[in-house]
Amino acid sequence: MPTADRRIAVPEGERQYHIGLGPGELAEYILLPGDPERTARIAALLDDVEGSQQHREFASATGTYKGLRVSIVSTGIGTDNVEIVVAEILAITEHPTFIRVGSCGALRPEMALGDVAITTGAVRLETTTSWFVSDGYPAVADYEAVIALIEAAERLGVPYHLGITATAPGFYGAQGRPIPHLPIRYPDLAEDMARQRVMNFEMEASALLVLAGLAGCRAGVVCAVFAQRTTGDFVTGAAKDAAERNGVVTGLEGLRILADMDRRKAAAAADRWRPSLGI
Ligand code: URA
């Protein structure tokens, strides 16, 4: 009889400490917003909601979107919170697919406020993932998720950009934003990242991509452009709501397309989706 490892703080198949959810309460297709208030706004777009709850910054809802059972779980801000959410979701699901729907600051001048940015990979400026993988290990988006998000944006007519994201461990100093009363070490960080053709800054993607990848699960990231770093513009008011909606509908449709890909793989007895299976 195997003895339980008492060091494991994420008990498989039990109600989880931070997200407050247990087995069966989450769908296998999961959207991860950062903002807990965004969970209710996304849930309002579902056909029906079977359950919702909130514990600290982790607000969740599960329901049906165009016939697909989906869940929404907010991560709060930062890669340390993402680690908690991913670890706990993995303990109570079978083989989840994750799409982060967040916000970001754009580093390319042609990216307009309200457009969306689809991440192909992320620069690990944070250190949460260093507790799991070595320096130089890449944070890569799952190719099926990238294709599904591109297809979703195309179908919905949402303007999108594709490229590498920098995941920062802070919003101000760690993204090269001057702060009135605090000296920052890298005031040219945004320009430095832009020179390396990095597309955008945000605060969660790399952790999701690394941890989901280590678990053998698919993950993708779509972020609405809230800030344009080349001009200093920041989205406000109704334009902010519209920007958020662009990211959210792209993420929801992306999950539906991934589920379609899964059906096509199952029909062809294929492990991986390929263009000849159709989309
Ligand atoms: N989120 C970020 O992390 N940075 C921005 O500039 C905007 C949203």
Averaged over 131-141, what is the pLDDT? 98
pLDDT of residue 12: 78
Report the distance separating Cα 134 and Cα 71, nearest Å: 31
Task: Report the separation in Å between the CA atom of 218 and the middle of ligand 1, taken as the mean of its atom positions.
Answer: 24
227 lines ligand 1 (CB under 6 A): yes
Report the distance separating Cα 277 and Cα 167, nearest Å: 33
Q: How confident is the model at residue 212 (pLDDT cuts 50, 70, 90)?
A: very high
Q: Is 233 helix (H, G, I), strand (E, B) or coil?
A: strand
Specify whether the CB–CB gap between 198 and 166 falls below 8 A: yes
Average predicted confidence (pLDDT) for the chain: 96
pLDDT of residue 100: 99
pLDDT of residue 7: 67
Nearest-Å Rg of the Cα atoms of the chain is: 18
DSSP-assigned letter for residue 76: -
Q: Which two tokens stand for residue 226?
A: 């809230």
pTM across the whole model: 0.96
Task: Report the separation in Å between the CA atom of 255 and the middle of ligand 1, taken as the mean of its atom positions.
Answer: 24
Atom of ligand 1 nearest to the CA of 177: 6
Task: Report the separation in Å between the CA atom of 40 and the middle of ligand 1, taken as the mean of its atom positions.
Answer: 21
186 lines ligand 1 (CB under 6 A): no
103 lines ligand 1 (CB under 6 A): yes
- Please state the CATH superfamily assignment of the domain spanning residues 29-267 in this structure: Nucleoside phosphorylase domain (3.40.50.1580)
Q: Which two tokens stand for residue 173?
A: 């100093």
Q: Which two tokens stand for residue 278?
A: 């159709």
DSSP-assigned letter for residue 185: S
243 lines ligand 1 (CB under 6 A): no
Q: Whose CA is nearest to atom 8 of ligand 1?
A: 104
Averaged over 62-70, what is the pLDDT? 98
Averaged over 242-260, what is the pLDDT? 98
Report the distance separating Cα 58 and Cα 223, nearest Å: 19
Of the listed ranges 8-12, 171-175, 194-198, the least confidently predicted one is: 8-12
Task: Report the separation in Å between the CA atom of 164 and the middle of ligand 1, taken as the mean of its atom positions.
Answer: 15
160 lines ligand 1 (CB under 6 A): no
Q: How confident is the model at residue 8 (pLDDT cuts 50, 70, 90)?
A: confident
171 lines ligand 1 (CB under 6 A): yes
Specify whether the CB–CB gap between 96 and 62 falls below 8 A: no
pLDDT surpasses 50 at 1:
no
69: amino acid identity, one letter: R
For residue 1, what are the contacts with CB-CB under 8 A and spacing of at least 6? none
| Residue 250, CA distances (Å) to 91, 120, 149, 224 in order | 27, 15, 6, 10
Report the distance separating Cα 167 and Cα 164, nearest Å: 10
Report the distance separating Cα 73 and Cα 21, nearest Å: 10
Q: Is 68 helix (H, G, I), strand (E, B) or coil?
A: strand
Atom of ligand 1 nearest to the CA of 106: 6
203 lines ligand 1 (CB under 6 A): yes
Atom of ligand 1 nearest to the CA of 171: 3
In percent, the amount of the chain with pLDDT more than 70 equals 97
pLDDT of residue 138: 98
Domains of the chain, residue spans: 29-267
- The model's pLDDT over 14-25, given as tens digits with 9 standing for 90+, comes to 889 999 999 999
Averaged over 229-235, what is the pLDDT? 98
